[in-house]
Amino acid sequence: MLPGAFGTLPETAQAQVMAAGRVGRWARAGLLFHPEDAAETLFVILRGAVRLYRLGTGAREVTLDVHGPGALLGVSALTPGESYNVYGEAMDDVEALMLGQDALSRLTGAQPAVGVALTEQITRQTRGVQERLSGLVFLEVSQRLALALLNLAEREGGWPQEGPIFLRDRVSHQDLAYVVGSTRETITKLLGDFRARGLLDLGYRRIILTDKGGLQKASRESLR
């Protein structure tokens, strides 16, 4: 089953979507596209996470957003003659369905529901960008980190009835900094604070969340 809005399509329509494209695979730190590349392909993330960024002053990487399964990348491919304008970097092992412009046109013509699913997913992502910007303005870094950890738990299938949840994906402090919009040093300090409060435990690129209620509280209130 396809993730995201495409997962709501009938199985026959999902099969047509998969048949219309090809699956690409990238290892961690691989680039799906460069800013100057012609936007001729729409990417549907099937597995993993992708960071979108630009180069700022002094070639500093400025993270714009991070997307997971179900997200659409390169929506500029829906408009002929556009470029991607950003870098798309795999944050872990990534699989994505690649749909060319011609294939998309034929697909939406044959299956109008696919066009509806595209619109729904773009709307979701636009809402996500607005929430991210709001968080950057109104929330403390600690609150954004708690929310990011809770979201990662949901990606794992939700919190178990009892006990901790082990985040299976490798998550580095730098990865969390990208997601939260902070620095690796700040995230390392905050994770230590969270650990001292009993909210989580840490291993090598492994995070074990131990207190759902505590993380929810930390997402609402800044650390004291």
For the chain, 224 residues long, give each residue's pLDDT as a single digit of tens: 889 888 999 999 999 999 999 999 999 999 999 999 999 999 999 999 999 999 888 878 888 888 889 999 999 888 888 999 999 999 989 999 999 999 999 999 988 999 999 999 999 888 888 888 888 888 999 999 999 999 888 877 778 888 889 886 677 898 889 889 899 999 999 999 999 999 999 887 689 999 999 999 999 998 77
Report d(CA 178, CA 184) in Å as an integer.
Answer: 8
Cα–Cα distance for residue pair 202/130, rounded to 1 Å: 31
Q: Which of 21, 9, 44 is nearest to 114 (CA)?
A: 9
The DSSP secondary-structure symbol of 69 reads T
φ/ψ of 219, rounded to 5, equals -75, -20
Give the full edge-to-edge strand order of the sheet including 94-100.
Answer: 22-26, 94-100, 41-47, 72-73
